[in-house]
Amino acid sequence: MSINSDEVNYLVWRYLQESGLEVSAFALSDESTVQKFDKRYGESIPIGSLVNLLQKGILYSQADQLVKQNGDVQEDKFYDEKFSVFHALNADSGINPPLESKDRFAKIDPNETNEEVKDKEGDHVMNGDENGHDTKDVKEQSPDFIKILKKKFTFEPSTYSDFNPTASTVLSFGLSDARAKIAVILPNSEIKPLILNHPPSSSFNTSNDVTILKWSPMGNLLVTGVESGELRLWAADGKLINVLYLHHSPILILKWSPSGKYLLSSDINSNLIIWDVTTGNIIMDLDLLKKNETTVHNESDETINLGIDATWIDDSKFIIPGLNGSVLVFNIDNKTPWGTLIGHTKAISSIKYNKENSMLLTSSDDRTIRIWNGNGFNNCSLLSGHSQPVTYSDWITNDFIISCSLDGSLRIWDINFSKQTSIIVMDGVPILHGELSPDKKSIAVGNIEGEISIFSIDLLLPDEQLKLIGEYQPLIPNDDLENNLITSLKWSSDSKDVVVTYSHSESVVVSGE
């Protein structure tokens, strides 16, 4: 059982409003986060909750005085109907001695002069305790300390981002005007970002946003995709190498093959293309939603989302989402699937292949996670527990995986026993994004309100495999509060920094250490 300062502030704010003290309520609202709690819990918190909790605390304090330490009732004592909050505090102080008032919280003696007060204050070390220790260091060493993630670099609202896999200080990000940029995020760097231009939209009143971009495994090439379906291939120095144009709708998925020789691209209409990056030739072109010629389809038919992820096994095989929750395994020289994995019933959110144990991890909007044997791709484990669609999952080790969901929970699973080993629920706020650090020691998650949380991962601690170590909350203009969304969340290759892009507020690189 616990209550934090934000929750106390909210109850006090509600009390002030209910009492008609509007000015005081406004001042508290301006200096705290009570508006966030009111939006989330306002309708479920009854009127008079603060007074109700205080009354119950008074009764508990009185009852505590009537019971001996061995549990026997003291029959010589009786309930006092006039027992007040001050009686309760006085009685409790006999059991739990009050904290000593120090420094700026010390009581002021009315007989002391200002000079005497200054002399006393001078005996204390700035930002330290009476022993001269830095209180900041003491707080950070506390097991309950949660730091605010420090901003290292800021840039404009963006549509997507990706760190270079071989140069951890090189960042690329896409913008909403058919442009992308490559920036260096060294301290005090005066290097101007490289600007990568796509043609603007040819249609009136339509944009040509960069929807996705991806660095090659070696970090020497960058591919950017826009709403029109055009792909452009760039060198790391910003030089245009090739234009790949066959898609005619926004690009949703980009995946490089392990060697960087091939590129898989898929658009929102599930048209998939395998490109030979060296020549720009098309190796394979698949229409996963190819319509039957005898079936009539209206232009108003909704776009069917098969999934938002894909992966390569090696340079000759890849795995993609299929119809009705299926997962398809292809060879690049054959348009007929080499294998079809049946189990999920809705769109696929994650596809992760583990080369070390030759096993495949998939998660879905059907709220389940499945583990497949890589040799024959038989379903060998079903993990269920999330109450809403799973938005992210990945391998931590060969035996453990991690997942997050719209149910607001973050979970670790042991695949050998098909059981959950750890769970953290983030106030029930849906988690939209998740990203495991390259060293597998941390995970960053972003919720629907734009807040970022970083958790450390330690599988050797049974009761604390996940621990919150840092948070970041964006500064959002009031006009864009409801429209602001996290558009991407990525780790740097050295697992030290996290980049978060927002649709309507400044995007940031924060320290993830």
- Return the pLDDT at 507: 95
Ordered DSSP codes for 7-51? HHHHHHHHHHHHTT-HHHHHHHHHTSSHHHHHHHHGGGSPTTHHH
- Predicted TM-score (pTM) of the model is 0.71
Instruction: Out of 61-65, 90-94, 253-257, 480-484, pick the least confident.
Output: 90-94
Candidate from 33-47, 154-168, 306-320, 331-345 with smallest mean pLDDT: 33-47
- Strand-pair partners of 498: 491, 510
CB 211 within 8 A of CB 226: yes
Mean per-residue pLDDT over the chain, rounded: 83
Distance, CA of 368 to CA of 357 (rounded, Å): 21
Q: Average of pLDDT values for 103-132?
A: 49
pLDDT of residue 66: 67
pLDDT tens for residues 379-406?
889 999 999 999 999 999 999 999 999 9
The model's pLDDT over 274-303, given as tens digits with 9 standing for 90+, comes to 999 999 999 999 998 875 433 344 444 456
> What is d(CA 181, CA 172) in angstroms, rounded to the nearest whole number?
5
What does the pLDDT average to over 205-213? 84
Cα→Cα distances 245→21, 128, 230, 253, Å: 63, 62, 5, 15
pLDDT for res 131: 53
Q: Which residues of 201-238 are buried (b: 16+ CB within 10 A; e: fewer)?
A: beeeeeebbbbbbbbbeebebbbbbbbbbbbbbbebee
Name the range with the highest mean pLDDT among 17-31, 419-433, 462-476.
419-433
Instruction: Report DSSP letters for 410-469, one per residue.
Output: EEEEETTTTEEEEEEE-TTPPEEEEEE-TTSSEEEEEETTS-EEEEEE-TT-TT-SEEEE
Question: Are the C-beta atoms of 344 and 326 separated by less than 8 Å?
Answer: yes
**Side-chain half-sphere exposure of 421, counting CA atoms within 13 A:** 22
Q: Which two tokens stand for residue 377?
A: 């791709």
Lowest-confidence region among 308-317, 361-370, 455-464: 455-464
Residue 469: phi and psi, rounded to 5, are: -120, -10
The pLDDT of residue 168? 94
Which domains are assigned to the chain?
A: 5-141 (1.20.960.30), 156-289+490-497 (2.130.10.10)
pLDDT given at position 42? 72
Q: Which of the two residues, 396 and 71, has the higher pLDDT score? A: 396
Would you place residue 28 in the very low, low, confident or very high pLDDT band (cuts 50, 70, 90)? Answer: confident
- Report the percentage of the chain scoring pLDDT > 90: 56
